Amino acid sequence: MLEFYLPLKALHIIAVIAWMAGMLYLPRLFVYHVDAQVGSELSRTLKMMERRLLKFIINPAMIATYVFGIALVALQPVYMQTGWLMSKIALVVLLSGAHGFFAASVRRFANDENKRSARFWRIMNEVPTLLMIGIVFLVVLKPF
């Protein structure tokens, strides 16, 4: 079974890259959407872009990230006893929470119910970045 480890790891990394690309782009769309006039062509376009980004890139990439990550741990269960992996999983859970918040926000924007400012969305744009930095350092350095 270990012959599948490296191909699964590559697929996991690809899925993570796709997930992160979407997670970094979506709140940037929200920044622009805040300033769009309700009912305008720009607002309709942004709604479509946000929905498609979530449905066709972010959600499938997150699912693939989890599937391949779980498969990797199943092939190397000894990693479950390491502190770095437990910490990584905690950060991935936080990233998944941000994902859920962004998904709910897509629905709020679709219904013209956003109450957040562009400044808020600029700050939220940094959350996935900070979590990603922590995750990458844990995986590469394996500090504990």
Q: What is the pLDDT of residue 1?
A: 75
Considering the entire predicted model, what is its pTM?
A: 0.94
> Coil, strand or helix: which one is 7?
helix
Q: What is the pLDDT of residue 2?
A: 82
Q: What is the pLDDT of residue 138?
A: 97
Q: What is the pLDDT of residue 25?
A: 98
Phi, psi of 125 (to 5 degrees): -65, -25
The pLDDT tens digits along the chain (144 residues) read: 789 999 999 999 999 999 999 999 999 999 999 999 999 999 999 999 999 999 999 999 999 999 999 999 999 999 999 999 999 999 999 999 999 999 999 999 999 999 999 999 999 999 999 999 999 999 999 999
Q: How far apart are CA 30 and CA 142, in angstroms?
A: 35
**Helices (H), ranges, 35-58:** 41-52
Joined tokens for residue 52 = 């498609």
